[in-house]
Amino acid sequence: MRGLKRNKQNIYYALYEGKRELTDEYGNKTGESEVLYSSPVLVKMSISAAKGNSELDLFGININYTKTIITDDTNCPIKEDSILWIGNSPQKEPHNYVVVQTAKSLNNIAYAVKEVDVS
């Protein structure tokens, strides 16, 4: 019962790949940088409806998060600097969630995710 298929939903994720320094049209450094992510990947995971009570929170009371995501794939590459598309498509809209914390156990990984507004 760890990962029932009927409880899983489609999620896209992209992994953080670093930063690239921006240059102007003459090749001069501008002092700004651009964050780079991998191409979005589709996975199926169990998503909570909303944040739980602080007494029962998996991640404690100091973490500000909107939902939790659980997977039974203990080799899942999603990390705390990954971005997610939940209920959205990366081909149509920007990401709408970021991973704020992970909790890995023997049989699963739980992710605390926070909703963000990206223009």
Model pLDDT for residues 34-82, shown as the tens digit of each residue: 999 999 999 999 998 776 554 456 666 656 788 899 999 999 999 999 9
| Res 4: pLDDT | 77
User: Which position has the higher pLDDT, 85 or 62?
Assistant: 85
Q: Are 48 and 67 in contact (CB under 8 A)?
A: yes
The pTM is what? 0.80
Q: What are phi and psi of 86, to 5 degrees?
A: -115, 115
Largest CA distance in the chain: 59
